[in-house]
Structure 1
Amino acid sequence: MMASSSAAAAPFRFLPPLATTASCTLLSNSSRTPTTRRRLLLSTTIAAAMATSSPSDGSASSSCKVVDSHLHVWASPQQANEGYSYFPGQEPTLRGDADFLLECMDEAGVDGALIVQPVNHMFDHSLVTSVLKKYPSKFIGCCLANPADDGSGIKQLEHLIVQEKYRAVRFNPNLWPSGQKMTNEVGRSLFAKAGELGAPVGILVMKGIGLYIQEIEELCRDYPETTVILDHMAFCKPPTNDEEEKAFSSFLNLSRFPQ
């Protein structure tokens, strides 16, 4: 799904969690010392090497690409002043522009990435879209669903997927209007439209999957043609108590849905 690029026919292999974590840390901590930065780059490179190591039969794997499967970019202060404004209250405190990302990727030996629309720009996708168009062989995009009550986000989703060539869409339940759920009329329409367009839905359950498991199960049951991804492994961790055990089990039980 997110492993192909319009400009590259070679197969892609995603980074394991170690590499992804190191890359995200590096992108969000530009003020660290060179020594620390080199250590992060080293851990990323080691994990990338593991991901692209030669198979047991000894055949060459040089055609594989190293891809970071989840990261963000946002405007530099200069770009923000030139029209790519930040969403009020979401102004970044760290550097995360595309030039910096490309520098980090080059140093770490990463060939490409999936860029997820950041909350810093909320539903204004102009900055990420400009990056995707400028570097089509490097990046593919995941847009952010707009669950506004007026349903305008449905047309926006179709435009971003069909016209701007985004490959997936993120659902963030915390962005739904107060008191509303992802299973409301707008949420269902967005979810169904994503399936119709062949765009996987990545769900961000930042507050824990237990709060949203019923909504996710309902959407999966009613729209089996829509592929679902639980971002950040649904924020689950090795359970240490009954509540965490229940949350982790509910996450694993989602495997019963075909998508």
Structure 2
Amino acid sequence: MASWSSPAAAPCRFLSPLATAASSRALLSFPTPTTRRRLLLSSTATTIAAAMAASSPSPPCKVLDSHLHVWASPQQAKEGYPYFPGQEATLRGDADFLLECMDEAGVDGALIVQPINHMFDHSLVTSVLKKYPSKFIGCCLANPADDGSGIKQLEHLIVQEKYRAVRFNPNLWPPGQKMTNEVGRSLFAKAGELGAPVGIMTMKGIGLYIQEIEELCRDYPETTVILDHMAFCKPPT
């Protein structure tokens, strides 16, 4: 399988009628019949070429899971990938089991998000990413510790270990602290500097965090934001 970093790894093709519609509207703004004919011919040729490209044989699109976790098996936990205290796994979630499930379901690759089972110890996920570079990419977990140690860890994980994104879990901030505190701002800015999207877990409802999210986005517009777990919301009564 080709690496995800290869341009050939995304062979999907789409033919959108919007391009044709836009070209048709543009015809009206040209005053001369000659210019209109030239644009019409150009637009028609482009549409035909796009249609031919769309109908030509091409490799099938990859099927990707955009968000999942892996954690150590009990044996792996004993051998060097311990669980975070109180977060011991009760279900199987090791990489071998994941690969079996992916093969059965016809899934080609996935984004692995650092699981709470290992908290800020990324060694297990890092080992999986290195073992299966054509199958997985990683999203690390931001460490909002007061001492700021998570900022250096974030840079290491993205630059050295090649993680592609970082998760902000608001519930991991110290009690009484918000994502907009000094450490949170530094983490958010560093992610933008390194080109890593920030996935914010709004699991308890986006309304609890929307002001913090808006403030971070306003002050650091170069950082891309993804809102995940938005389906975990309280339905209206």
TM-score (norm 2): 0.76
Shift of 1:9: 2.5
* TM-aligned CA distance change 1:33 to 1:129, over 3 Å: farther
User: 1:162 matched to which residue of 2?
Assistant: 159
Gaps of 5+ in 2: none
CA contact (8 A) 2:202 2:230 kept: no
CA contact (8 A) 1:3 1:14 kept: no
CA contact (8 A) 2:20 2:47 kept: no
CA contact (8 A) 1:23 1:44 kept: no
CA contact (8 A) 1:19 1:48 kept: no
CA contact (8 A) 1:44 1:108 kept: no
**What secondary structure sits across from 2:167 in the alignment?**
strand
1:166-185 mapped onto 2 (5 Å cutoff): 166-185=163-182
Shift of 1:46: 31
Query: Among the aligned pairs, what percent are the same residue?
Result: 92
Q: 1: distance between equivalents of 2:71 and 2:83?
A: 8
* TM-aligned CA distance change 1:84 to 1:189, over 3 Å: same
Instruction: Give per-residue Cα distances to partners, 1:119-160, cap 9 Å, x unaligned.
Output: 000000000000000000000000000000000000000000
C-alpha RMSD of the superposition: 14.9
Q: 2: distance between equivalents of 1:39 and 1:120?
A: 63
Q: 2: distance between equivalents of 1:193 and 1:176?
A: 17
**What secondary structure sits across from 2:138 in the alignment?**
strand
Q: 2: distance between equivalents of 1:35 and 1:94?
A: 70
* TM-aligned CA distance change 1:15 to 1:123, over 3 Å: farther
Shift of 1:11: 4.0
Q: 2: distance between equivalents of 1:213 and 1:231?
A: 13
* TM-aligned CA distance change 1:205 to 1:89, over 3 Å: same
Shift of 1:102: 0.1
* TM-aligned CA distance change 1:100 to 1:38, over 3 Å: farther
* TM-aligned CA distance change 1:36 to 1:12, over 3 Å: farther
CA contact (8 A) 1:148 1:177 kept: yes
CA contact (8 A) 2:206 2:230 kept: no
CA contact (8 A) 2:30 2:36 kept: no
* TM-aligned CA distance change 1:7 to 1:51, over 3 Å: closer
* TM-aligned CA distance change 1:49 to 1:100, over 3 Å: farther
Shift of 1:205: 1.4
**What secondary structure sits across from 1:99 in the alignment?**
helix
Shift of 1:210: 1.1
Instruction: Give per-residue Cα distances to partners, 1:166-222, cap 9 Å, x unaligned.
Output: 000000000000110000000000000000000000000121111111100100100
CA contact (8 A) 1:73 1:101 kept: yes
Give the stretch that moved more between structures: 139-148 or 209-218: 209-218
TM-score (norm 1): 0.70
**What secondary structure sits across from 1:14 in the alignment?**
coil
Max Rg structure = 2
CA contact (8 A) 2:157 2:163 kept: yes
CA contact (8 A) 2:179 2:185 kept: yes
Gaps of 5+ in 1: 57-63, 241-259
* TM-aligned CA distance change 1:152 to 1:140, over 3 Å: same
* TM-aligned CA distance change 1:91 to 1:216, over 3 Å: same
* TM-aligned CA distance change 1:25 to 1:127, over 3 Å: farther
* TM-aligned CA distance change 1:141 to 1:128, over 3 Å: same
* TM-aligned CA distance change 1:138 to 1:237, over 3 Å: farther
**What secondary structure sits across from 2:67 in the alignment?**
strand
* TM-aligned CA distance change 1:84 to 1:233, over 3 Å: same
Shift of 1:20: 34
Q: 2: distance between equivalents of 1:103 and 1:21?
A: 46
Shift of 1:114: 0.2
CA contact (8 A) 2:15 2:51 kept: no
Instruction: Give per-residue Cα distances to partners, 1:233-258, cap 9 Å, x unaligned.
Output: 36347655xxxxxxxxxxxxxxxxxx
